[in-house]
Amino acid sequence: MSLKLTNTLTKRLETFKSLKPGEVSIYCCGVTVYDLCHLGHARSYIAWDVLRRYLISQGYQVTFIQNFTDIDDKILAKAAKEHSTMSQVSEKNIKEFHKDMDALGIIRPSRMPRATRCLNGIREMIHKLEKKGAAYSVDGDVYFAVMKHIDYGKLSSRDLSEQQLNADGRIEKEEEARKQSPFDFALWKAAKEGEPSFPSPWGEGRPGWHIECSAMVLQELGETIDIHLGGSDLIFPHHENEIAQSEMANGKQLANYWLHNGMVNVGGQKMSKSLGNFTTIRALLNNGVSPMTLRLFILQAHYRKPLDFTNESIAAASKGWARLNSALCVGLKNHQQLNWPKPEAQEQTFSNLKKYISDESLSNSCQQFIDALDDDLNTSVAISVLFDLSRPLSSLANQLKRGFSPLGDEAENKELQSKWSFLVGLANVLGLQPELSQKEKSPQNQMHNEIEIIEAIKERKAAKLSKNYAQADKIRQELKDKGIELIDKKNGVTEWIKN
RNA sequence: GGCGGCAUGGCCAAGCGGUAAGGCAGAGGAUUGCAAAUCCUUUAUCCCCAGUUCGAAUCUGGGUGCCGCCUCCA
């Protein structure tokens, strides 16, 4: 089997074949940098991160381009509100973007072009469209003439001739009058009073929203690329317009595969800025939701389906992740005790999955995992493979945590070890990386309250011996509140664990 | 009004014609002063109706409900 992807362009599940053998070119629509990213962005970029990781693990050389839209009305509005400038607002939010994406373990794109730095390409493309008669200017604005593009509507299944004008009448009348067709869209917008603007043959102004992506794809990857990515809310008009511009200007198909991710919903409704029902990635992380919990939550659903966000579903993912994570960490924390080779530092390289196919004990799981991802990135099933593999390992982790030294026979130990490194390898394809807790990473504060804990345990033991269980439970609860969990062992010894 | 998607156990979620993955939660048992943890066992006929088929959650037709896009949006 080989990778199959649902192509929005053909509305079908298709076997993926790259233009150049062994190489994949990907363009992903990025964010408009006027604010922090929310969970919807996280979903999109995590899904595409998995696509990228999987392609790399299959041996492809992937060039991944993602833009920053740094010219936009919302950025201007924000700048005005903050008594700042457009570029200051963009700059700040680009930093924040990287902070969030890095936290989520999303591999940075190969390059991240910005609209303000691609103006030449943009002007050239508009000029080209003008020469081909597909663009016209009115009072410093330049519009794309939709009727000139024979295939207009092919991505979003819209038929212009049958298309009734949007009943809600949201389009501004003034602008309407200037357009030849209501679906025409701006390639270049004349500057308004006091706005930042850039020179052009049509006067001072700034690029329309769609043109930057067309220009960037051409500049960074060429006329035709393998895969174009984005949220399903971008299909129309953004991607439709991108196709129209690029294909009209270049005379070539823009992208062979168009992939779109489903929305994150809140109470059945799309999470969006305008509805105000969004939760930022930052807020979630600050509330103690770990990055990998978020990743697990997102990848447990298929990328094309809507995903409902609730506190309960995050809590469920968090519990699930804790279990999986304990298995992923076992070889990192306990390799000395288990006499396992010292694990390599986490790298952004991916072991070739196919090597596991020949390993009898891992072959099945490996094949299941590959089949799942081949099937339009079925991460949900891939994760179930991870959970199956993790069972004996999290059990091992648990025994170790509780002070047992499960010194089984050597063969068994070896099998666990290879299972563990296999699990870590598979999880890495999904970007699920072991999270050692803060306390484990920085063991300060550990020593000075240890004596206190031992004292408390002694006190509790005395209470237990005198059958004063209420007092014993009180002591346990107090420690628990401080993150110390007590475990009574069979032999009467009480051990404690930091959580 | 046009285009598209979805409906699976208490919750989330796979499934793509051969008899329901996985996660969370729950139940029973072992263990425990009680817990925690662990181990074992366990919980669904898939929105409704009709049809195709030896066989359908999966295909077809008709309902019902929900959502997205058509305006900025991942």
Q: For A194-233, what is each residue's pLDDT tens digit? A: 889 999 999 999 999 999 999 999 999 999 999 999 999 9
**A164 is near strand B: CB distance < 7 Å:** yes
In Å, what is the separation between the CA of A330 and the C1' of B32? 27
For strand B, the positions having any atom within 7 A of a protein Cβ are 1-6, 11-16, 21-25, 31-39, 66-74
At A466 the pLDDT is 86
Looking at A62-71, A97-106, A210-219, A266-275, which range is the least confident one?
A266-275
SS3 state of residue A262: coil
At A437 the pLDDT is 72
Please list, residue by residue across A344-377, b when 16 or more beta carbons sit within 10 angstroms of its beta carbon and e when fewer do: eeeeeebeebeebeeeeebeebbbebbebbbbbb
Looking at A149-158, A245-254, A382-391, A400-409, which range is the least confident one?
A400-409
User: For residue A156, which nucleotide's C1' is closest to its Cα?
Assistant: B3
Q: Which helix (H) or strand (E) holds A30?
A: strand A23-32
DSSP-derived secondary structure letter, A121: H
**A280 is near strand B: CB distance < 7 Å:** no
pLDDT at A173 over 50: yes
Upstream peptide bond of A237 is cis (omega within 30 degrees of 0): yes
Strand B proximal residues, A:353-372, Cβ < 7 Å: none
* Phi and psi at residue A145, to the nearest 5°: -90, 100
At A345 the pLDDT is 64
Report the percentage of chain A scoring pLDDT > 70: 92
Contacts (Cβ under 8 Å, ≥6 apart) of A213: A27, A29, A67, A238, A242
pLDDT at A285 over 60: yes
Interface confidence (ipTM) of the complex: 0.94
Taking the C1' atom of B12, which residue's CA lies nearest? A313
At A41 the pLDDT is 97
pLDDT band at A321 (very low <50, low <70, confident <90, very high): very high
pLDDT at A167 over 50: no
Distance, CA of A392 to CA of A494 (rounded, Å): 25
pLDDT tens, position by position, A397-412: 888 877 776 666 788 8
**A325 is near strand B: CB distance < 7 Å:** no
Looking at A175-184, A254-263, A430-439, A484-493, which range is the least confident one?
A484-493
pLDDT at A471 over 90: no
Looking at A155-164, A174-183, A407-416, which range is the least confident one?
A155-164
**A13 is near strand B: CB distance < 7 Å:** yes
pLDDT band at A428 (very low <50, low <70, confident <90, very high): very high
User: For residue A45, which nucleotide's C1' is closest to its Cα?
Assistant: B74
Contacts (Cβ under 8 Å, ≥6 apart) of A316: none
How many Cα atoms are found within 13 Å in the side-chain-facing hemisphere of A375?
Answer: 12
Mean pLDDT of chain A: 89
Distance, CA of A141 to CA of A207 (rounded, Å): 10
At A453 the pLDDT is 84
- Cα-trace Rg, chain A: 28
Contacts (Cβ under 8 Å, ≥6 apart) of A367: A357
pLDDT tens, position by position, A128-145: 999 999 999 999 999 999
**A12 is near strand B: CB distance < 7 Å:** no
In Å, what is the separation between the CA of A273 and the C1' of B57? 36
At A164 the pLDDT is 52
Strand B proximal residues, A:181-200, Cβ < 7 Å: 185
pLDDT at A171 over 80: no
pLDDT band at A443 (very low <50, low <70, confident <90, very high): very low
Strand B proximal residues, A:457-496, Cβ < 7 Å: 464, 469, 472-473, 476, 485-488, 490
In Å, what is the separation between the CA of A129 and the C1' of B28? 73
Region A344-362: mean pLDDT is 72
User: For residue A387, which nucleotide's C1' is closest to its Cα?
Assistant: B22
In Å, what is the separation between the CA of A364 and the C1' of B15? 19
pLDDT tens, position by position, A32-51: 999 999 999 999 999 999 99
Give me the count of residues in chain A. Answer: 499
pLDDT band at A487 (very low <50, low <70, confident <90, very high): confident
**A103 is near strand B: CB distance < 7 Å:** no
In Å, what is the separation between the CA of A265 and the C1' of B23? 19
**A383 is near strand B: CB distance < 7 Å:** yes
- Tokens 């930052």 locate to A282
The answer to whether A326 and A397 are in contact (CB under 8 A) is yes
**A395 is near strand B: CB distance < 7 Å:** yes
pLDDT at A168 over 80: no
Which position has the higher pLDDT, A396 or A111? A111
